[in-house]
Structure 1
Amino acid sequence: MRQIRKDLIDHLGGNPSVTQRVMIDRAAWLSLRLALLDAKILADTFTEHDSRTYIAWDRSLNRLMRDLGLKGAAQTPRSLREHLAAKAGA
């Protein structure tokens, strides 16, 4: 869950709002729960109830991801000095 949180925070540019943090926590929780159900699929112990639960959680996660934004935060452009240093090193 920590990695998912970190990845989503990075995706948002590193400084999410309080609302975004709540959404990130919820997305991490849903991702974990879906992974547990994925394991049940692989173990062939997936039930009809699991299927309905999986669909509901997957849809919730998709809505959260859409609300957080499919596009990541714009990267900060490099300074002229950084650009020239990178070009000189190439």
Structure 2
Amino acid sequence: MDATRHASGAGPGRDPRPQRSPKNPATAWLLWMFLGVFGAHRYYLGDWRMAVPMTLTLGLLGVWSLADGIVLGRRLHRIDTGRH
């Protein structure tokens, strides 16, 4: 294997993480509004590592879900621009 290639197959200077596809903001907001305590919006955004604990704690009884509502727009923007 060439020394300039990474084990993930990405060339030098490339981010080896897979790029996420742009998400529909309306879908994310609706999931947050109706299923936010279960972390449905987190699953939709691909943040399953945060979604699982959110589901198990019911969004820390709603507090975590409310906090997510504050930052959801910014999170969508970061995903759509490729800055996870």
Q: TM-score, normalised by structure 1?
A: 0.30
Q: TM-score, normalised by structure 2?
A: 0.32
Task: Name the structure where helix makes up a greater proportion of residues.
Answer: 1
User: Which protein has greater RCO, CA pairs closer than 8 Å, 6+ apart?
Assistant: 1
